[in-house]
Amino acid sequence: MKAVSATEPCTEEHREREWMNQIECPNCGWRNLNEFRYGGEQRPPPAQEGIGLKDWGAYLYRRRNPRGVLHEWWYHRLGCGVWFIAERHTQTHALHSVRRWSPPEAD
């Protein structure tokens, strides 16, 4: 797999599509940005045992908001209805990759 710069999308097609405000759905392919809903940064939930209201509130409402590549939740609300993970640069909005979300396997 070719290394991707933190400021550049991985292909010419990605560059072209982002200019037109499109996102690639893992099911439907390239679609208009208006069909999607941003779901926030992908991060692990806190441990369920012994979590206080302060910690739960911080998980729900506080965001790191870093500059750089971030893994984010996206929902295709006007299409197939799938939640997926997009790797996007927060400053340039370059879309590096998308993948379907799948629940972790039980131990």
The pLDDT of residue 10 is 60
Structure tokens at 3: 């290394």
pTM value? 0.72
For residue 84, what pLDDT is reported? 95
- DSSP per-residue string spanning the chain: -----TTS-SSHHHHHHHHTTEEEETTTEEEEGGGEEEEEE--PPPPSTT--HHHHHHHHH-----SSEEEEEEEETTTT--EEEEEEETTT--EEEEEE--PPPP-
pLDDT at 44: 82
| 36 confidence band (pLDDT: 50, 70, 90) | very high
Enumerate domains of the chain plus CATH numbers. 12-100 (3.30.2270.10)
Mean pLDDT of the chain: 81
64-91, pLDDT tens digit by residue? 888 999 999 999 999 999 999 999 888 8
